[in-house]
Amino acid sequence: MLVVEGLVKRFGGFTAVGNVSFKVDQGEILGLIGPNGSGKSTIFNMLSGTFPPTAGSIAFEGREISGLAPHRIINRGIGRTFQIPRPFRRLSIFENVALAGFYGQGGHSRARADQAAEQALGMVGLPTDRAARVDGLGAAGLKKLELAKALATGPKLLLADESLGGLDETEMDQAADMLRKIRDELGITIIWVEHIMGVLMRVVDRVMVLDHGEKISEGLPSAVSNDPRVIEVYLGTDADATQAAAAEKRR
């Protein structure tokens, strides 16, 4: 569904993403992890057209999309959430979501936008009542709103950037279940960026790990969590020593 080759993003002399290639299959949930500043959101920004890549290609359903404007990418069927939600606080929850639907698959039809908002809000479990205000939403509610806005654009591929940030453990499990439900029930393919690895690993089919803008590991969750390069990045210690210590403990 998505084929990314040799993706590069430089900001001045700094390389935020250096030569990353990956594929996403239809119906898959791909986890994208890596330390702060490793280039995860920058990859999302290039996939969603927030800014063009410095080099490389992005093919979605067989057509090149790199460098297209965000609204054109939304209309091709890629929706995204933002790591930091910035809803319009003077609009109601419903209006925020309907607005996303209006400019997405709603095709500038008010009726279709309202319908998209009803469905998206129902999916994430937010009130569909037209007057409910954004101000009453806590962290979990704001994350749900972010997902509902992305869903209202009618994506085939959803880019979810840190859907668990600021949530407690119960809310995290609920958010993870929701992403799985979005894939299972709506058939939406997902790339999910997250810091909370334990929760992510339970839900994703495959994981890709970035460090300093480069892919250092990719594969099934069980294989990636035992990859010495990944252990080294996350524990900041010599991986051999870590594994030796773990083996010692098991004895």
Ligand X SMILES: Nc1ncnc2c1ncn2[C@@H]1O[C@H](COP(=O)(O)OP(=O)(O)OP(=O)(O)O)[C@@H](O)[C@H]1O
Is 92 near Mg ion (CB under 5 A)?
A: no
| Residue among 191, 192, 251, 155 at smallest CA distance from 24 | 191
| Residue among 198, 197, 143 at smallest CA distance from 166 | 143
Asked whether the beta carbons of 79 and 157 are under 8 A apart, the reply is: yes
Q: Say which entry of ligand X, Mg ion, none residue 38 contacts (CB below 5 to 8 A, set by partner kind).
A: ligand X
Closer Cβ to ligand X, 39 or 141, answer by number? 39
Closer Cβ to ligand X, 18 or 106, answer by number? 18
**Residue of 29, 40, 46, 154 that binds ligand X (CB under 6 A):** 40
Is 37 near ligand X (CB under 6 A)?
A: yes
Closer Cβ to ligand X, 39 or 49, answer by number? 39
Q: Which stretch binds Mg ion (CB under 5 A): 32-40, 102-110, 131-139, 180-188?
A: 32-40
Is 83 near ligand X (CB under 6 A)?
A: yes
Is 189 near Mg ion (CB under 5 A)?
A: no
> What are the Cα distances from residue 224, in Å, to 4, 66, 82, 245?
20, 29, 26, 19
Nearest approach in angstroms of CB 83 to Mg ion is 5
Any idea which residue has 């969750």 for tokens?
Answer: 221
59-94: b or e for each residue (b if 16 or more CB lie within 10 Å)?
A: ebeeeebbebeeeebbbbbbbbbbeebebeeeebbb
Phi/psi of residue 68, each to 5°?
Answer: -70, 155
Please report, as ranges, the residues that interact with Mg ion according to CB under 5 A. Answer: 40-41, 83
Please report, as ranges, the residues that interact with ligand X according to CB under 6 A. Answer: 11, 16, 34, 36-42, 83
